[in-house]
Structure 1
C-alpha cells in the first residue's frame, strides 16, 4: 500500500535538493533519535547509482546497513529509488511562489530487516527542520553550482 506525503517548505528548491542528496546532511535527518542514529551515509546520485546508510542503535548492540539504488533522477525535480530491493519510493520537488512543494511517496512502512514500523513522519519532520534551518546557513553558491554541473554531466 503506497503512502504519500505532501508539504510546503520555507526553503529554496536548491536547499531542499541539497538536503535530500548530500551524505553529510542526510546523516543528520536519517535517524530515529530515541533508538538509532545514522553514523555513515554514502550516495551515488546517478540513475542506477547506489546509496547506503549505516545505522547504529543507542544501546550499541544493534546495527544495520540500509542499501538501495536510484532508478530515475531528474536533477532538482524528482528522484525514484528502491530500498533493500523491496520498498519503492519517490520524491518530487516543485518551486512555488510560497516556497518549495515536496511530494514524497513510499510503497510501505515496514523496513525489510525489522518488525518495527518505519517512522516516515519522524524522518520527514527531521528533513523539514534540516531544510528550513539550512536556509539560515546558506550553502556556498559555488558548491551548489558544482553539484548541479556534476548532475547535469552524468
Structure 2
C-alpha cells in the first residue's frame, strides 16, 4: 500500500465480534448501513466472501441524481480478524477487526483516489463507518 496515499478510519462498537462480522459481511445487513448520509442508500449488495471472491455494493443518491458500484476482489480473508481487498480502480484496502470485552474495533486503512481530497475521502469513509456503528449497535 502506498504510504503517502494511506488513510485510516476507525470506530468502536458496543457489540461482540461475531455480530459485527455478520453485520459487516452479509448482504442483507450491508444494504442497511452502507451509505454516508441519509440522502443516499445501498439498494443491493453482493458479497462472495472468499479469497478471489468479488463484492459489489450499489450506492445511489435517493433523488436519483447519482449512482455507482463500489466493488473489488478479496485478496486475503482472516475471518473475524482481517479483510484485504483491491478495488476495481486498483486501490488497496485493509479492514481489521478486534474485540475487547463487549466492544469491537473496526479499523479501515485504504489508499486515497486522485479526484477528491484526502480529507473529503476520510470524512466519507468515516461517515459510512459511523453509520455501520449506529446500525450494529441497534440490531439484536
Normalised TM-score (structure 1): 0.76
Match of 2:135 among 125, 130, 140: 130
Structure 1 gap segments, 5+ residues each? 138-154
Moved over 4 A (4+): 114-117
Structure 2: runs of 5 or more not aligned:
none
After superposition, the CA RMSD in angstroms is 2.0
Aligned partner of 1:3 in structure 2 is: 7
CA distance in 1, matches of 2:24, 2:131: 11
SS of alignment partner, residue 60 of structure 1: coil
SS of 2:69 mapped into structure 1: strand
Q: For 1:68-83, list aligned pairs within 5 A.
A: 68-83=72-87
Higher strand residue share:
2
Larger relative contact order (CA 8 Å, sep ≥ 6): 2
Q: Quick one: structure 1 residues 32 and 94, their matched pair in 2 at CA, closer, same or farther if it must change by over 3 Å?
A: closer
Superposed, which structure 2 residues align to 1:1-154 within 5 Å?
1-108=5-112, 110=113, 117-118=120-121, 119-134=124-139, 137=140
Count of residues paired in the alignment: 132
* Structure (1 or 2) with the larger CA radius of gyration: 1
